[in-house]
A and B are shown apart, each in its own frame.
Chain A
Amino acid sequence: MRRLTACVAVLMLALTLIPLGGCSDEGLDFGVRPENRARPVELVLLENGRPDPSVLAEEQVVRRGNGEEPSTLDPHRADGVPAAHILRDLFEGLTTISSSGQIVPGAALRWNISRDARTYTFYLRRDLSWSNGEPLNASDFVYSLRRALHPDTASASAAALLPIANAREVLAGELPIEDLGVALLDDEFTLQITLTGPTPYFLGLMASPVAYPVNRRNVEAFGELFSMPGNLVSNGAFTLNEWVPRTRIVLEKNPLYREARDTLIERVFYIPVEEASAEVNRFRVGELDWTSEVPSNQFAWLQKNYPDELVISPWTGSYFLGFNLTQEPFVDNPSLRMALILAIDREIITDKVTRFGERPSYSLVPPGIDGYVPFTPEYADWTQDERNHEARRLLEQAGYSDANPLHLEIRYNTSGNHKKIALAVASMWKQVLGVSTSLVNEEYRVFLQNRQQKIVTRVFRAGWISDYNDPYSFLELFRTGHRGNDYGYSNSTFDALLDEVGTERVRARRERLMFEAERVLMTDNVIIPIYSHVSKRLVNPHLRGWQPNVLDHHPTRFMYLLRSRGALSSASPSAVDAVSQAASVEAEAPPPPEGALPSPETAGPQADEVDDEDSSERIEQENGEGGS
C-alpha cells in the first residue's frame, strides 16, 4: 500500500521533473557499432587449449541479449530458455555440459550405473564449495532434489524428475519427502539415486536446472526470496550481483568455483529484450555482444550486412505439423494423410520461406543428434513431381475429388514463422491437391488447450526442441497416452519398441531399436515433417571460446573476448573472415578442459557397458517453440 501511495507521489514528481537522474550502467553504454569496431586479433592458443593472455581484451565483460525476462532464478521453479541460460552460469549440477554440448562431470567426479539401469551412484568432488565459502557435498543434492519435488515448492519443471523412485507419490503428497529415491551412501560425498525404470537421458537430466543444488541455509533463511541478488548462494562459475527486472541481470565471476582459474569472463550482463528486432538494434549500436535470436525474415539482409556476426548452426529441434488421429477425416485414413504429407515441397519452405539454412526433413528426429541417423522414407528420394502425382492418386483413393472436395484447417499459435509456414502449406495443398485450407491462428494458451483436448484440432502446428542429445526424447512423445501426445497416436508395436530402448544398453542395438520405432511412426503418417531447426544469432566476432552445438547451450565460462587489432596492423580481410566464421570457430576452439575426463574408465567400474554417449539430457521446460 505504501508502495502504491509512493507511486502516485512519484507520478506528481515526474510531471515536474525534467532532468532525469543519472545512475549509469557501466558496460552498457552504447558505443562502437559492429561495422566500426576494429577486427579482433588472431587467436593464439596455449598448449592446454586456453587462449594466450596476450590476445585477450583487457576488459572481460560480456553482454548477452537474452530474450524474455526470466520467470525466476530459483532453479527448481524456473522454466523457459532465458532462465536456463542464466542458471547454467550460476549453478552446476552433478553433471554438466561442455562447450561442445557433451555431458561431462560436474559436481560429481564420476558415477556408476547399475546393470538394470535403475540405480545411479554419483561420487562427488571433495573440494567443492558454495559461493559463500560453505562446503558443498552430497547432502546438499539430497536436500535440493527433495525440495524440487516437494508439493509446497509447486515446481512445474519437476515433471522432469518423475523417473526418480517415488517421485510421483511425493509430488502428490502421498508419501513423505524422505521416501524419495535419493540417498547418501557411505559418506557425505556419495549420492545414490534410484529410478522407477531405465531412463536413458538421466545423466543429461542431472545437468539441467531442476537438478541443481540450492543452499539449504540460504533457502530456509530467505524463503522464496532466496534467489534475489544479495541472498542467492550458488555453486556455478558466476554469482548473482544485480537484478533489475526487465532491464538487466548482472553476474560476477565466482572465485570459489572449481574451475575459476580457467574462467576468463569477469562479468556477464544478461539483457532481456522481448522483441527480436530490438535485440538486433542493440547489437548494431554495440550494446550487446550476443543476441538470443534474429528476426525471421531478415536472413538475406543480415547475411549481406553482418556476415561476420551472423552465426547459424543446427539445433536439436524438428518442426512439423501434426494430425489429430481421433477426429475425421483422419481416423484410420493413412492414405489421405500420406497425400497431404507428399504434396508439400519442403525445399521451397526452407529455401524461400524460412531461409535460415533449415534442413528439409522427412522424418521425426533431426539429423546430428548423437550420431543417430534418422529413418528416411522412400519418397524422400522422389522428385516433387513424382510426390505430387502420388499425392493426387492417394487423395482420390481416399475418396476426395472435385465433386467431393476436401476442406481442411491448420491451427497454429500467433507467431511470424508459424504463420508463414501454415500459409505455404495451405498454398501447396491448394495448388497440388485442390484442397482448400483455412488458417486458424490462435493465441498461445488457447492453442495449447485446444491441441491437448484433441477435439477441435485437425492439422496443427507441432514440433519439438529437445535439450537432450537423444532421439528417444523425440520418440517418446508418441507413446500411447504420453502427455506430449497431442495426436491421439497409439501403436502397441511402437510402444513395445520404446520399452526395449529404455533397457537396451548396447549403443548399436539401441539405435537400431529407435530407428525401427521411428520407421513405424513415420509409416503410420502421424506427422507432416517440415524441417529441422537451426539456432541463429548475432555474435561479436571478438567473443570466442564458445562453440556452436546442437543443444544451443553456451555457458559463459568458456567464453573470452579477444583484443582488437591495433590501428597499425593491416588486417588482411581473408584472415579476418576465416577466424570469424562460425565453422572455423568450431575448428579452432579449444577442446573443453573437461573433455578428456568422461571416458568410460572414469565413469566408474560398473559402467563399462554403458556407452558414455548415452548420456543425453532433457530439460522439459525448455521445449522451445512456444511464445506468442
Chain B
Amino acid sequence: MNDNVEKRRSERTVDDVFAQAMAEPDIRGRSLWVDAWHRLLRNRAAVVSGVLMILIVLAVVVGPMIAPWAGDFTDWDNTSSPPSLETGHWFGTDAVGRDILVRTLEGGRISLLVGLVATLVSLVIGVSYGAVAGYYGGMTDRIMMRVVDIIYALPFMFFVILLMVVFGRHIILIFVAIGAVNWLDMARIVRGQTLSLKNTEFIEAARACGVDHHSIILRHIVPNLLGVVIVYVTLTIPQVILVESFLSFIGLGVQEPMSSWGALVNNGAQDMESAPWTLVFPAVFLTVTLYCFNYIGDGMRDALDPKDRA
C-alpha cells in the first residue's frame, strides 16, 4: 500500500536534490515528514484522539502517584459502594473495597504497557524477518515465506493459550506470547517493502561501495520502513489490548493485585446490573483508548499515503 511512500523516501536519502526536483518545486524545503505532519494536523479526528491519548497516558502515569488510595488498599467500610464524593471513592469500589478510580488508572498502565511491549516484540521479529527475507531474496526468501505461510495456518490464539497454560501467567509471558502472534503480518509487509527497496539506486550504491549486507539491512533498509512501521504500531496496539482483555475473560490474564482494563471490564461485566460502576469507568477508559489509537493510526496512514492527497 505504501510503495510510493517508500520510493519517495529512498530517493531523498540517496539524492535529496534529485528527489526534490522530481517533486513539485513549490514544496521545496518541506520534507516528507513535515508534509505528513501537516496532513495529520488537518485530520481533526486524529488530533482530538492524540490529545485525549496524551491526557489518558498522563492520568495513568501520574494518577496513581497522587491518588489518596493505594490500588490494593481494601476499604472494609465501603465494599461494593457506588461512586460518591463523601467516601472519597469517586468511581466507587469493588467487592473487596478497592477504589475503582485507582484500579482503573493502574490497570491502564498494564494495558498500555502490554499493548506497547507486545507490539514492539512483534515489530522486532517481524521487521527483521521480513527485511532479511526481502533483502536476500531467492531461495532464502522462498523458504522463509513458506515458513510464514505454514505458521499463518496455525491457530495462533491457541498457542497463546497453550503457552499461558504451560508456563503460567507471568506478565512478561503475556507480552511475548501476544507479540509472537502478531509478527506475521509485519513480516509480510516489510518483505514487500524491502523487495521494492533493494533494487533502488541508493542500496545498489551502498552495495557497490562494499558495505556489508548486515549494515545495509540495519542502516539503510530498516530506517526506510519507518512509515509503514508507525502505522502498523498504532493499529496493532489496540488489537493487543483487546487480546489481553480476551485472556482476562478466559481467566488467563494478569495476576492480582495487578490489573488491566480488560480484567476490570471483565469483572465489571459480570456485575453489570448490581454494580454498574465497576464496569462503566474502566470500560470508558478502554473504549476511548481503543478509539484514539485507531483514529491516530488511520490518520497517520492517510497522512503518509500520498495517493490520498488527490
Contacts and interface: CB of A to CB of B under 8 A. Distances in A.
Interface of A: 277, 295, 297-298, 300-302, 348, 352-353, 414, 416, 419-420, 422-424, 426-427, 439-443, 446, 628
Interface in B85-136: 95-98
Contact of B275 (A297, A348, A416, A422): A297
Contact of B256 (A277, A352, A439): A439
Contact of A414 (B74, B95, B251): B251
A426 B74 CA distance: 10
A420 B274 contact: no
A416 B97 CA distance: 15
Contact of B76 (A300, A348, A414): A348
Contact of A353 (B96, B164, B251, B267): B96
Given A353-B95, A414-B251, A420-B96, 7 more contacts: A298-B271, A301-B275, A353-B79, A353-B96, A427-B74, A439-B257, A442-B168
Contacts of B97: 352
B15 interface: no
Contacts of B76: 348, 352
A297 B74 contact: no
12 contacts: A277-B270, A297-B95, A300-B80, A300-B274, A301-B275, A302-B274, A352-B96, A353-B95, A419-B256, A420-B95, A426-B72, A628-B251
Nearest to B271: A297
B8 interface: no
B166 to A, nearest CB: 9
A298 B274 contact: yes
Contacts of B168: 442-443, 446
Contacts of A414: 251
Q: Is the interface of B mostly helix, strand, loop or mixed?
A: loop
A441 B275 CA distance: 24
Contacts of B255: 439-441
B96 A441 contact: no
Contact of B96 (A295, A302, A427): A427
Nearest to A414: B251
B252 interface: yes
Counting contact residues on chain B (CB < 8 A from A), the size range is 20 to 34
Contacts of A442: 168-169
B80 A423 contact: no
A302 B275 CA distance: 12
Contact of A423 (B96, B271, B274): B96
B257 A423 contact: yes
B169 A301 contact: no
A446 B165 CA distance: 8
Interface string B236-269: 0000000000000001100111000000000100
Nearest to B256: A439
B251 A427 contact: no
Interface string B162-182: 001100110000000000000
Contacts of B267: 416
B96 A424 contact: yes
A628 B255 CA distance: 15
A127 to B, nearest CB: 51
* Top-3 shortest CB links A-B: A301-B274, A427-B74, A414-B251
A385 B267 CA distance: 33
Contacts of A353: 79, 95-96
A348 B169 CA distance: 30
B26 interface: no
Given A297-B80, A414-B251, A423 B256 contact: yes
Contacts of A352: 76, 79, 96-97
B44 to A, nearest CB: 40
Given A352-B76, A353-B95, A441 B271 contact: no
B74 A424 contact: yes
- Most chain B CB within a 10 A radius of its CB, from A416, A423, A446, A628: A423
A414 B168 CA distance: 12
A60 B72 CA distance: 51
B256 A422 contact: yes
B72 A427 contact: yes
Contacts of B256: 419, 422-423, 439, 441
A553 to B, nearest CB: 28
Contacts of A446: 165, 168
Contacts of A424: 74, 96
A295 B270 contact: yes
Nearest to A410: B256
Contacts of A426: 72, 257
